[in-house]
Each structure stands twice: as C-alpha cells, then as structure tokens.
Amino acid sequence: MAQAAIELIGINKSFGAVRANRDINLEIARGTIHGIVGENGAGKSTLMSILYGFYQADSGEIRVGGQPASIKSPNDAIALGIGMVHQHFMLVDNFTVLENVILGAESDALLKKSIAKARSELERLEREYGLEVDPDAIIEELPVGLQQRVEILKALYRGAEILILDEPTGVLTPAEADHLFRILRQLKEQGKTIVLITHKLREIMAITDTVSVMRQGTMVATRQTTKTTVGELAELMVGRRVLLRVEKGEAEAGGVKLAVKNLTVRDSRGVTMVDDVSFDVRAGEIVGIAGVAGNGQSEMLEAISGIRRAVSGSVMLDGKPIDLTGAADPGELRDRGLAHVPEDRHHVGLVLAFEENENSILGYHDDPRYVRGPFLDIDAIRDDARDKIAKYDIRPADCRLKTANFSGGNQQKIVLAREMEQDPGVLIVGQPTRGVDVGAIEFIHKRLIAMRDQGKAVLVVSVELDEIRSLSDRILVMFAGRIVGERGPEASEGELGLLMAGVEQREAAE
C-alpha cells in the first residue's frame, strides 16, 4: 500500500440540527486519484472544506503525511501542501491570469518581483503539466475550461502536493473534461495526490484508482475502482437500486405548442449567437437540443423565455404570436403558460439569500394562492413550499432554510418544483441535471417524462449527450448558432458528435 497522504479519523460536523459528517474515517494514498461520491447533501463538500480549513470539525483528527495537523484556515492547508479547486471558481474576473495566480501570495509590495517570479513559474508549470493559458489574458474573457486551469495553476503555484477538485466537470464540455482528465493523470504521474468530488459515476470509473461513497453524512464504503461497477456505486450512494436508464413509452405527439421561426439573437457584444433558427415542439413530446456549450443554445433559451431580446424572428405559443424583439417579458410568458428552468440557477433561477419558501414562488408571487388582500399570505406560501419539498424530495426538509445552504442538486429541485407545479403548457429546461447526483437525476428524468405524458411540450437543452439521447423524442443539433441536423433518439453518440462539431456524415465519409 502507498503511504497515506491524508488520514481523516472520526470527523464530526454539525450545522445546528443538521449532522453533515458523522464519524468519518478516510485514508487517501499518496500519488493516487481518489474519488468521493454521494448524493447532493451527503456531506462530501463539507468534509473537504474541513480538510481545506474552511470549516473546523466538531471532533476528530486530521493527519497529513502521517503527522497530526491543525488546519484552522485555508492558509494552514496551503502551508501543508493542500490546494482546492472549487466548484464555483474563486477568481477576480477583471484581473489577468497572472494577477489571479499571485493574489494572496505576493512577495513584495510593488509586485515587480512577484510578477516576474510568477511568470517564470507559470511557464514551468505549463510545460510540465500541459496547463497552457495566456498569463496576460483577462479572466472574464476566458472560456470556463481555461478558467479552471487557472485555479489549478494557483494551487500548484502555492506548492500543492494534494489537490482537491469539487465537481470539476460540472461546467465543462465533454472535450474540456477529457483534457482535464489528461492533466490529472499527468499530475498523478508527477507524484501529486488528487481528491475528486463528483456525482458523475462514469467519470469516477474512468479516472480514479479508489472511490469512497458517502450517504447522509456517513462513509458507507471504499472500493478499488477496478473492483466495482457503476451500478454498485449508485446503489451504495442512494441506499437502493437506481435506474440508470430512462424508461419511457412512445410519445403521442399532438398539436404544435411552441413554434420558433427564423429566430436571430445577438449577445451583448453584437455577435450573432442564434442565426435564423426554426423548429417546433408539440404537445406530448420532448425535443432535445444537443451541442457543445457556446453554440447559441443559452442565448436561444433566454430569447424564448423573454430574458434576452431577439433581433428578428417570430415565436408562436399555442398559436398566438409573441413579440420577442421588444415588448415580451418573462412575466407575460409565464402568464401564457410557458415555464423556464434556467441553465444558471444561481444567477437567474434563485436568490440565494432568500429562504427556500421565498424562492419557491419567485415569479409567481402575485398568484391568488399566495396573496391575502394587499399582502403576501406567508402561511400559505410556507405550506405550499412544504408540499413541494415533500413531493420533490428536497433535502433538508426545511422551508425556512436559506437557499444558499442547500446543495446544488437540491437547489435545482427547488427551481424545478416551482416551475413544474404551475402546470405549464410548455416547459423549457436548460441543463436539467447539471451538478446533480445519480438519485436526483433519476427523479428529474421521471418528472420530465411525466410532464410529456400529461401532454405538455418540453424543450431540453443539455451538454450531456447521454441525457439528450435518453430523454428526447426528437434531437436537434446546434452548431455555430444554427440547427445543423435533426435525428431520432436512436442516433449514435458518434453521429451526434460529428454534427456537434459541424461535420456532416457525408463529409466525414469522404
């Protein structure tokens, strides 16, 4: 056995009445990639936040390299050679890559020596680990995959020998995720220890040496990755057998509920992101939009939901026109039966500082069910929120809890419950299971199929090809702002991948 890089012994942590970690014992071997999986809210991120010094355990011991360690802050963790790449990046958007890397690790007041040292060290790290990124680029101008590289470079620059990555592929395209895995393997070959927190079991199988499973704050199993299966890990995570495929009958498509004709949308820079797009969605079917992130899917959903103004084109909802070039707004569209689950739940779907019950009515707060005279009916709102919590298995089951304190998957359920329970005729969903664990994925997929079977029209955008192929009755592929093909759910991943890359099948065969 390799020497232990990290040992966690009897770790306990509570937040009020919530026991986040219960008597956790975990050993991570040096020079390995160790995965930690579990449902959203299982305590994975809390445990790693204790290791990185964001939280202090109520009881228990941490050993680093076989020696007891007192980690009271991230500075203590960094001094012990522990770095962390967070799910939501800790970068200053209007700083350069170089400025972000040295932030907090400056060696002189005027920064001249710090910048020269950092530039030289970044060049070495880029060569050694394949982490190429322009040191003078502004962070907000970089794609998300490169921003993640900057986070890894920050940790390595500070001397990290142990690197914790929290849901590292949640915002990456498949190609970016593949490149990240190549980097992680290279780091491992150089003797680094990687701790990977994720809900994506296929990634665990592809990249890790060992995997530990958490459930409801406890550590329930540790397995060598080569000696387990996706099915076993899913069952250990959830405590029951999990359906890893979507079961659905044939669609019984009815009349057109949503018709998009010649839609053109530009972004804030004036760049055309959606270029003359036309399609329709019928009652009783799920239409999936496949494509690599950044090919216009986000802007298209924002325009259809009234968040972003379109340049031109027409949209019909239940046969009645909507003016997306001027007067339409999300409130009017909601009133006309179109519900929207946005791709970015933090910035568009929720107000994280609000309680769960307040978020559960956002956008619908003038509904008569939630109003008494000129005031909101707080009791009715909270009762309604408790019903949604029970129906959608939102954890913890506390409608007074601040939404920021729910895990990402449970935050997603809050948004889905709010929109689905309004009984819309048309539901558009961006990235329905981003950052969501395997049990919640199964639940969300079942809810979307149920809406289809109730005769609703459902439009789904996802970068997860497996999800698009499993859920959709028809698949449309977007590339460079255009619909470049339509396929059935039987289409292979390779066929769809070629379309997503802008390559027609006949071109690929030549």
Question: In CATH, what class is 4-238?
Answer: alpha beta
- Tokens 């008597």 belong to 23
pLDDT at position 485: 94
pLDDT score for 492: 86
Burial class of residue 301 (count of CB atoms within 10 Å of its CB; 0-12, 13-18, 19+): buried
* Maximum average pLDDT range among 94-98, 169-173, 217-221: 217-221
The whole-number pLDDT of residue 257 equals: 97
CATH, domain range 256-337+424-509: 3.40.50.300
Q: Are 163 and 10 in contact (CB under 8 A)?
A: no
pLDDT value at 510 more than 50: no
Dihedral-angle region of residue 41 (phi above 0 means left; psi in -120 to 50 means alpha; beta otherwise)? left
Give yes or no for residue 443 having a pLDDT over 50. yes
Task: List, in sequence order, every residue forming a beta bridge with 459; answer none if it has no partner.
Answer: 287, 428
Give the pLDDT band (50/70/90) at residue 161. Answer: very high
CB-count exposure of residue 268 (10 Å: 0-12, 13-18, 19+):
exposed
Between vectors from CA 210 to CA 208 and to CA 214, what angle results, nearest 5°?
A: 105
Least Cα distance to 37 among 165, 201, 185, 180 occurs for 201
Strands ordered across the beta sheet of 474-479: 338-341, 426-430, 457-461, 285-290, 474-479, 482-487
- For 258, list phi and psi in degrees, rounded to 5: -130, 125
Q: Over 80: is that where the pLDDT of 149 sits?
A: yes
Please tell me the predicted confidence (pLDDT) of residue 145. Answer: 77
Task: Please give the pLDDT value at position 42.
Answer: 84
Complete DSSP assignment for 112-164: HHHHHHHHHHHHHHHHHHT----TTSBGGGS-HHHHHHHHHHHHHHTT-SEEE
What mean pLDDT is predicted for residues 472-479?
95
Domains 4-238 and 256-337+424-509 share a fold: yes
**Which of 226, 234, 231, 233 shows the shortest CA–CA distance to 207?**
226
- Give the mean model confidence (pLDDT) for residues 87-108: 81
* Per-residue pLDDT, 506: 42
pLDDT, tens digit (0-9, with 9 covering 90-100), for 245-273: 677 888 899 999 999 999 999 988 899 99
**What's phi and psi for 77, nearest 5 deg?**
-65, -45
Q: With cut-offs at 50, 70 and 90, classify the pLDDT of residue 169.
A: confident
Q: How far does CA 148 lie from the centroid of its chain? A: 14
pLDDT at position 387 = 97
Q: Output the pLDDT for position 111.
A: 65
Residue ranges of domains in the chain: 4-238, 256-337+424-509
* Whether the bond into 432 is cis, omega within 30 of 0: no
Give the DSSP per-residue string, 192-243.
-EEEEE-S-HHHHHHH-SEEEEEETTEEEEEEEGGG--HHHHHHHHHSS---
Tell me the pLDDT of the chain averaged across its residues.
Answer: 89
pTM over 0.75: no
Q: Of the candidates 78, 71, 65, 69, which has an alpha carbon nearest to the alpha carbon of residue 53? A: 71
> Phi and psi dihedrals of 122, rounded to 5?
-65, -40
pLDDT value of position 15: 87
In one-letter notation, the amino acid at residue 129 is: Y
State the alpha helices, DSSP H only, in 421-464.
438-453
pLDDT of residue 384: 97
Rounded average pLDDT over 444-464: 94
Q: Is the pLDDT of residue 73 over 90?
A: yes
pLDDT of residue 509: 39
pLDDT higher than threshold 90 for residue 120: no
